[in-house]
């Protein structure tokens, strides 16, 4: 488990981690390619928190920036890196795994989708 996951262990997060992350760890294709499991789980945790706060739409970029702030400023981990390209991947992953939150993040059509339309 990486540094970010080690620090996110409140009981509600831990229960969610056990329920959701354990199957993901066994099948990493369930998370976006190249995205560390702890980053995906932290993204999910923050997106859930935003939804519980009453937002019906939100920015996946804002969530990634919050994760950066948390690691860089609050925890002093200057080595922590998040690729901006993960934003759309994590937004799609989150909505695919939480169908009740379809449309929570605005996404553009992927190049493959645009090409298929002709």
Q: What is the pLDDT of residues 24-67, one digit of tens each?
A: 555 545 788 889 988 999 999 999 999 999 999 999 999 999 99
Boundaries of every domain in the chain:
3-117
In the structure encoding, which two tokens stand for residue 31, read together? 């998370």
Name the more confident of 11 and 65.
Answer: 65
Residue 27's pLDDT is 59
pTM tops 0.75: no
Where b means 16+ CB within 10 Å and e means fewer, 24-61 reads beeeeeebbeebbbbbbbbbbbbbbebbeeeeeebebe
Please provide the average confidence, as pLDDT, over all residues in the chain: 81
Decide if 114 contacts 106 (C-beta within 8 A). no
Per-residue pLDDT tens for 71-114?
999 999 999 999 999 999 999 999 998 999 999 999 887 777 66
Is the pLDDT at 20 greater than 80, yes or no? no
């Amino acid at each position: 488990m990486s540094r970010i996951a080690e620090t996110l262990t409140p009981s509600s997060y831990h229960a969610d981690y056990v329920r959701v992350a354990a199957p993901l760890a066994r099948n990493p294709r369930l998370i976006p390619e190249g995205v560390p499991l702890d980053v995906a789980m932290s993204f999910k945790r923050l997106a859930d928190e935003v939804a519980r706060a009453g937002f019906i739409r939100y920015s996946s970029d804002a969530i990634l920036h919050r994760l950066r702030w948390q690691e860089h400023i609050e925890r002093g981990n200057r080595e922590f890196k998040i690729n901006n390209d993960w934003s759309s991947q994590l937004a799609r992953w989150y909505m695919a795994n939480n169908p009740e939150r379809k449309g929570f993040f605005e996404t553009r059509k992927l190049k493959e989708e645009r090409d298929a339309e002709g």
